[in-house]
Structure 1
Amino acid sequence: MKKRNLIYGQSGGVTSVINASAYGAIIAAINNPMVENVYAALNGIKGILEERIIDLKAESKDEIEKIAFTPGAIFGSCRTKLKTEEDFERLFKVFDAYDIGYFLYNGGNDSMETAYQIALKAQEYGYPLKVIGIPKTVDNDLMYTDHCPGYGSAAKFTAISILEATRDLESMHTDSTQVFILESMGRYAGWLAASGILASINGERGPQIFLLPEVPFNEEKFLSKVEEVIRRDGYCSIVAAEALKDSEGNYISTEDYTDAFGNIQLGKIGIYLQKLIRQNLGRKVHTALPDYLQRSSRHIASLTDWEEAIGVGAAAVKFAVDQGLSGVMVSIVRDLDSPYLKHYEPVSLEGIGGKVKYLPEEYISPDGFGVTEKFVEYVRPLIQGEAPNHYLRGIPVYANLKKVPVKRK
């Protein structure tokens, strides 16, 4: 069997552990005797189309090792959509010129759809390409996997942030701020917002109200709930998902922008709620929008999440090179909650893009303002442990790759 070249790309919003998946894939590919050269595309599929391809074997071993500890998307991400037949023809001309036999695409819903379309085109063109999707998203909304790498670390960040903010609120509420709102990422589903419940698993006071996209927002019920909590506790700590919707399924707060895949830019739900509370209840409110911090905070990444991110990257190489699979995504299958056990399986890329895994009804409290113990059991294992970091003079040290370009062909 002829050796072929492998190319890896990153796509979509980043996570604090997406580079751990890159590391897992790179090390597995470099050590696989059937892989000739290991490449990375700069800015995902966009970099392949533009032939911005780098040779990972030209990097030092020390810098390769640091990739696993680095936040952001070290090779650059993108939201590029392949729209025309000319796009696909160009893509496969590049694959052919660089003798690419294996393509690993690391991303979320839209990225898995792109990977699926490429796998179909490879069959149509008769080109011998193995396409594997490597999952990642802090939203945790990918179908056919128990959870997504990136989610556990973002959940850990959310829980710690709202725990500390609630402590602050509790200490100041008697003659200052009485309501604190943490706006959470989550384009469609409430997985990340719900993770704030983990602030209370050690008996601490966590948020009293959760606003989830799966529960239609009712202004009157919300204001009544806030007032009830303040009367009872003196203050009210809230986690609100950015994708909050009304009873007709319309987003409560958006910005006038959509990306290449038609995804509308969400945000400012915290400000909307803040004004609502001030105008109707006359309470002092503070709002926090962690935004990129929520998805990129590598310094408190979950050890479980980090190890699994490496694992799905390595599994992608195994599925493509050793097993000859194509058109599949690496899925995390949970075997046991306690002790937490899991394994990796390939699942078809068909039907992943364009679908959303929502928070199940059994994870949401009957009144719609909280989450259940079943959700806690689900998410608790995913935040365990602290991923290792390398520090110098008190600041983390990250990879600084040379990014040696492969000669344009």
Structure 2
Amino acid sequence: MTKYNAFYGQSGGVTAVINATAAGVIDTARTHCDRIGSVYAGVNGIVGALNEELVDIGQESSDNLAGLLHTPSGAFGSCRFKLQDLTAQRAEYVRLLEVFKAHDIRYFFYNGGGDSQDTTHKLSQCAKEMGYPLTCVGIPKTIDNDLPLTDNSPGFGSVAKYVAISALEASYDVESMHSSSTKVFIMEVMGRHTGWIAAASCLAQDERGLGPDLILVPEVVFDKASFLARVDQVVAEKGFCVVVVAEGIKAADGKFISESGSTDAFGHTQLGGVAPRLVDLIKQNLSYKCHWAVCDYLQRSARHIASQVDVDQAYAVGRAAAEYALQGRDSVMPAIVRDEHPPYSWTLTPVLLSDVANREKAMPEEYISEDGFGVTEAGRAYFAPLIQGEAHPPYENGLPAYVRMSKSLVRKKLASHTPQNN
């Protein structure tokens, strides 16, 4: 049986468990070594393919490959580079297929969010048009949890766990100091258009009366007067107030509260920090002493408190992607399907990339409390299973024993290329 090589790339914002997905792809490819020859990883995702910078996975040590399961971030480098339509960026597609042909690559795996699934779908269409036999499979990954057709996205469960734990621990701190110090603490988390991450902090709320008192999500229009009134009410009732806010909350006019005026490489509006703006609002109107924190990269790299469910799902979608490719399934993505009957269980099913690419899944209305400042029991029931289980990495000298790939590059066969600007 003829063997062909495979390309694996990581794209977009990285997570605590994306490397577990890489491990799933690599392990499965190795069990099918009669059909898949070498696995090459792109240095910085699709940019690595365009530059013909391909890491030979076969040159990595067994310890490094085993360590992928417990190492955060993108082991092979990620990127924010979006392929445009074939008519607008034909040279890039031609270049990709030239690289794949030169290195006998017939399997393409791209690990990312909505924009990355779009890239995979477009490449599949291009390969068909140009007559190159390439099987393209997208692999879900996004801490934002906004990919459609999948119950949740690998990477989200660990962020949800981090945010819930952080909100709980911060509330203990504020409670102990509020009589003479901080009255309001605001924790900003990621979430440009959806509030999945912020809403997951509801899991810190329980009979102890701690955790977030207000949760602000982009699905609910931010109203300054209502916000200030609720903060004032909570402080009056319990002496302090903890707020978790998604970076992408908007005013009634549709503008981000934290809009900075610039854009990122994908063309998304760059946000400038909503937490300090809310603090200024509270100080000016209520005169409470406030503190704020922005979780930023910390929330997506916290492998030391990753969810075991998340690790398991991340690895499983990698395995499934490789299996789908070997079955000849093109332009699909493995999606997670939740069994609606307790106890929590899940399976995987292939969905079409054409139904996933460039689409966002907002939180359902039934997950948001009527007043817009909290999460319903239905929401809690959705989030709770995703943070279950502890997947602690091994430790050395008191620190997690993460690995770094040697990234031995395959010899280039083509002339150099400069990717077009997005």
By the TM > 0.5 criterion, same fold?
yes
Tell me if the contact between 1:337 and 1:377 (Cα under 8 Å) persists in the aligned partners: no
Equivalent residue, structure 2, for 1:385: 389
CA shift, 1:400, in A, is 2.7
> Could you tell me how far apart the structure 2 residues matched to 1:100 and 1:249 are?
45
1:259 aligns with 2:260: no
**Cα offset for 1:255?**
2.3
Distance 1:192 1:247, change over 3 A: same
Residues 9 and 105 in structure 1, CA contact (< 8 A), matched pair in contact too: yes
- Secondary structure of the residue that 1:68 maps to in structure 2? helix
- Per-residue Cα deviation, 1:135-171 (whole angstroms, up to 9, x for no partner): 1111000011000000000000000000000011111
Q: How many pairs are equivalent? A: 408
Q: Which moved more, 1:254-263 or 1:31-40?
A: 254-263
Distance 1:267 1:295 in 2: 18
User: For 1:301 and 1:204, how far apart are their aligned partners in 2?
Assistant: 25
Measure the CA separation in 1 of the matches of 2:396 and 2:128: 49
TM-superposed deviation, 1:247: 1.3
Between the aligned residues of both structures, percent identity stands at 50
Per-residue CA shift, 1:191-232, capped at 9, x if unaligned? 000011111247451111011100000001110111111111
Does residue 328 (structure 1) correspond to residue 338 (structure 2)? The answer is no
Aligned to 1:78: 79
Contact 2:16 2:303 in 1 (8 A): yes
Report whether the alignment pairs 1:98 with 2:103: yes
Give 1:87's aligned residue.
92
Residues 249 and 256 of structure 2 are in contact (CA less than 8 Å); yes or no, is this contact kept in structure 1?
yes
2:346 counterpart SS class: strand
**Residue 234 of structure 1: how far off its partner (Å):** 0.9
Find the aligned partners of 2:166 and 2:24 in 1 and give their Cα distance: 29
Comparing 364-373 with 396-405, greater Cα deviation is found at 396-405
Query: For the Cα contact (< 8 Å) 2:7–2:41, is it kept in 1?
Result: yes
- Structure 1 distance, partners of 2:20, 2:206, is 28
Contact 1:337 1:381 in 2 (8 A): no
Alignment pair present for 1:185 and 2:185: no
**In 2: Cα distance, 1:156 partner to 1:349 partner:** 28
SS at match of 2:354: coil
List runs of 5+ in structure 1 lacking aligned partners. none
Q: Residue type matched to 2:5 in 1? A: N
Which of 315, 318, 331 pairs up with 1:313?
318
Measured in 2, the distance between the counterparts of 1:192 and 1:267 equals: 18
Q: Unaligned 5+ residue runs, structure 2? A: 414-422
| TM-score calculated relative to the size of structure 1 | 0.98
Taking the TM superposition and a 5 Å limit, the aligned residue runs for 1:50-129 are 50-83=51-84, 84-129=89-134
How far, CA to CA, are the matches of 2:251 and 2:8 in structure 1? 40
Does residue 286 (structure 1) correspond to residue 286 (structure 2)? The answer is no
Name 1:373's counterpart in structure 2: 377
Q: In structure 2, how many angstroms separate the alpha carbons of the residues matched to 1:15 and 1:337?
A: 29
- The residue correspondences of 1:4-403 to structure 2 (distance < 5 A) are 4-32=4-32, 33-83=34-84, 84-201=89-206, 203=208, 205-321=210-326, 323-336=327-340, 338-403=342-407
Q: Distance in 2 between matches of 1:315 and 1:362?
A: 31
Q: Which amino acid aligns with 2:192?
A: R
Residue pair 2:192, 2:249 contacting (<8 A) in 1 also: no
CA distance in 2, matches of 1:29, 1:246: 48
The CA distance in 2 between the partners of 1:231 and 1:130, in whole Å, is 61
Cα offsets for 1:232-273 (capped at 9, x unmatched): 111110001100011122111122321232111223100110
CA distance in 2, matches of 1:186, 1:17: 18
How far apart, CA to CA, are the structure 2 residues paired with 1:204 and 1:148?
30
> Per the alignment, do residues 200 and 385 of structure 1 end up closer, same or farther by CA in structure 2, a change over 3 Å counting?
same
Q: Distance in 1 between matches of 2:373 and 2:405?
A: 46
Which residue type is aligned with residue 171 of structure 1?
Answer: S
CA RMSD of aligned residues (A): 1.1
